[in-house]
Structure 1
Amino acid sequence: MSNVDPAELQKFSELAHRWWDPNSEFRPLHEINPIRLDWINSLCGGLAGKRVVDVGCGGGILTESVARSGATTVGIDLARKPLKVAKLHSLESGVAVDYREISAEDLAAAEPESFDVVTCMEMLEHVPSPASVIAACARLVKPGGKVFFSTLNRNPRSYLFAIIGAEYLLRLLPAGTHEYQRFIKPSELSGYARQAGLEVDAMIGLHYNPLTRVYSLGPSLSVNYLVACSRP
């Protein structure tokens, strides 16, 4: 429980009841979900038949989609209220997900090398030690398995777009959702991954066009980006 920020847990817990409202503060997560799911699918040879853990699953938007793709799916988080929302939605939707209130580090200690695929999306920038989470993800995945991360780059452009633009001007996210000093440069994330024994296979940017209100993947990693790793 040392690698957790109580203020971050409280922040998302207060909004938990709105997690599955596609027009709420979580609208961006609903809109980017198909894009990131397709990218994950394309790089791991499909999710069907695989065992997957979604680290920092929140209310379960990605987690349920992974389960719908045919994977045996575990979702973990330390924020109790979003996890309850995820469990309730799973019951309502009939999509089977094993949700657990446990940290990545503790699950890695209990079930090392147990998963074909590990996802950790939009979570690293909310914990005190992202390197610890990345190391736990590396321990969770089987040799030959895949690990996927997404986070925010740290530079003036990301501050302008992700905080000033998204939180204060366009109101895509609640003000205070992100703290700039916690953003992670691609070089830093790559370093953490290599230290944990992972190989970095691919990186791609996630872009938002405020005129068309459409998200897409592209080469620039300047703001939001996704990373695919593998364990040799």
Structure 2
Amino acid sequence: MVKTIEGSLGAPRTPSIDPDEVEKFSSIAAEWWDPKGKFRPLHRFNPVRLRFIRETAERHFGIDPGKVKPLEGLRLLDIGCGGGLVCEPMARLGAAVTGVDASEANIKTALTHAQEEGLSIDYRAGTAEGLIDAGEPLFDIVLNLEVVEHVADPIQFLKDTASLVRPGGLMIVATLNKTAKALATAVVGAEYILGWLPRGTHDWSKFLPPEDVRDALAAAGLEPETPAGVSYAPLTGAWRITEDTSVNYMIVAPRPEP
């Protein structure tokens, strides 16, 4: 049974619901776990961001990198979790994972797949605002990955999700920069030339430069670090962490202890 955050579905009463975006991803939810389907780019991109999340958590919380389950004892929230491509690896690393998505179809896909894999993940159909309204306990780690460019009010969404990070915890944001290069590669190239993504997946007007993300997180009481770039190597088909933030980038933002 899918748990729904009361009042968080239906009409877009909150900034993070954009009905067009919800419908777009609901229509292809069943393909989330097909590595050759519409979400193939995410499957290719996943290893580098999973490694980044693990290494960031180990460094921040002082965890032994050799631990089999380094995230054991940590509560982790994946906002806009889609079909669970990040939730499942995080659960295998030992985290108590909550995955939230505004599309109930995505949540049903994620829940079904997790059950097939024997994983216990707290999946909910709803929004960050719904969690806040429900008085959800704060999280050690909040993942905000490739979501901010799909919401109705990106700055408010960043501030809302930041409020779910406990003192001493951290948020990781991954999104696309608002540059000509990002338009050419992530939109024109990926959607219209190479066909990696369905046309219309991204709206360049919603892309955010790193300074906007950092300002929003800082205003919410977090301490954003220098962004890390994520670059694609066409010859090998691999993604890697670089200093080039002109297209994809990730920002780690801890919340200081009082």
TM class, shorter-length: over 0.9
Q: Name which of 98, 103, 115 aligns with 2:127.
A: 103
Q: Distance in 2 between matches of 1:134 and 1:160?
A: 25
**Hey, what's the Cα distance between the residues in 1 that align with 2:82 and 2:135?**
21
Partner of 2:182: 158
1:24 aligns with 2:75: no
Q: Percent identity?
A: 41
Write the distance in 1 (CA, Å) between the matches of 2:195 and 2:233: 14
Greater helix fraction, Structure 1 or Structure 2: 1
Structure 2 residue 64 is the aligned partner of structure 1 residue 15: no
Q: Residue in 2 aligned with 1:119?
A: 143
User: Gaps spanning 5+ residues in structure 2: where?
Assistant: 1-12, 59-69
Question: What is the CA-CA distance between 1:112 and the residue it aligns to?
Answer: 5.2
Alignment pair present for 1:181 and 2:214: no
2:170 to 146, 151, 166: 146
In the alignment, does 2:46 pair up with 1:33?
yes
1:95 to partner: Cα distance: 1.2
Task: Check whether the contact 2:14–2:129 (CA below 8 A) recurs between aligned residues.
Answer: no
Q: Secondary structure, in 3 states, of the residue corresponding to 2:86? A: helix
Bigger shift: 134-143 or 15-24? 134-143
Verify: 1:196 aligned to 2:228, yes or no: no
1:94 aligns with 2:118: yes
Any idea what SS the aligned residue of 1:44 has? Answer: helix
Q: Does 1:48 align with 2:72?
A: yes
Amino acid at match of 2:87: T
Give the corresponding residue for 1:2. Answer: 14
Residues of 1 paired with 2:134 and 2:79: CA distance?
15
Count of matched residue positions in the alignment of Structure 1 and Structure 2: 232
TM-score by length of 2: 0.87
Return closer, same or farther for 1:112/1:99 CA change in 2, 3 Å cut-off.
closer
| 2:25 aligned partner, one-letter code | F
Q: Letter of the 2:40 partner, please give it.
A: R
- Note closer, same or farther for the CA distance 1:41–1:111 as it changes in structure 2 (3 Å cut): farther
| Counterpart amino acid of residue 98 in structure 1 | D
TM-score by length of 1: 0.96
Task: State whether residues 111 and 140 of structure 1, in contact with CA within 8 Å, keep that contact through their aligned partners in structure 2.
Answer: no
Q: Calculate the aligned-residue CA RMSD, in Å.
A: 1.2
Q: CA deviation at 1:108?
A: 2.3
Name the amino acid aligned to 2:253: C
Deviation for aligned residue 1:173: 0.9
* Separation in 2, partners of 1:112, 1:155: 36
What letter matches 2:43 in structure 1?
A: H
- Alpha-carbon deviations, 1:141-179, whole Å to 9, x = none? 110101011000001111001111111112111111100
AA aligned opposite 1:23 = K
